[in-house]
Chain A
Amino acid sequence: MASLQEVPLPGTALAEELDQRLLVVLRDGRKLLGTLRSFDQFANLVIEGAVERIIVGEQFGDIPMGLQIIRAENVVLLGRVDEAIDAPEGLTRIPAAQIKEAQKGEKELNKLKSTIRARMDFLDLD
């Protein structure tokens, strides 16, 4: 029995994380916070009370997402978050609507940068 306890059964790696408040990082870079309620051997996840955390510069905000079922292949990592450190150090929390606006602004700036680059490529200044 001792050896059985040392080696966990296959696919049970996340059992210790059940009902814990976790940070889930997804492959597209998005970050969800929520409580892990279920998982399977592939690490498909069920997250309750999820919020998407958006960070733009020195500001961050949480968008409520409710119950989320996440397909395993999109999961990068799960981290146990210290509930005492709710806000990332040095960042200011702003309301959901405002952080969405800030994110939109950042996206448009990046788009503009790549458009300019594409045009320069087209001109081929070499």
Chain B
Amino acid sequence: MLFFSLFKTLVGKEVTVELKNDLCISGALHSVDQYLNIKLTNTRVHNEQKYPHMMSVRNCFIRGSVVRYVHLPPGAVDVEVLHDATRREARGG
């Protein structure tokens, strides 16, 4: 639940989701669920000419399993808190 909790604290922040098919979408994090499915609003696709079908998409739901990376805003998370939460998770799980 560590990353689910973490992503919940990032709701409203600007993130970039990079998918396993190389599609890169930036937008405001609208919501996340326990599978780490992600909903973005006000989305912008990088390299839009390559993905013309995405031009009229402004909001989207991304299935967690197709995510490669999520670029997070640096400074949005306290890394000390993150280390402690990780150690707690490691003990519990």
List A residues at the B interface (Cβ < 8 Å): 8, 10-11, 13-14, 17, 23, 25, 27, 29, 31, 43, 53, 55, 60, 72-73, 75-82, 85-86, 88-91
Contacts and interface: CB of A to CB of B under 8 A. Distances in A.
Contact of B58 (A11, A76, A78, A82): A82
B56 A81 contact: yes
Given A13-B33, A60-B52, A77-B61, 17 more contacts: A10-B34, A11-B33, A13-B31, A13-B37, A23-B56, A23-B57, A25-B53, A29-B21, A55-B53, A73-B65, A75-B66, A77-B60, A77-B63, A79-B61, A80-B59, A81-B57, A82-B58
Nearest to A24: B61
Nearest to A90: B52
Given A10-B33, A27-B66, A76-B21, A88 B52 contact: yes
Interface residues of B, number: 24
Nearest to A20: B59
Interface in B3-62: 19, 21, 23, 25, 31, 33-34, 37, 39, 43, 52-62
Contacts, number: 75
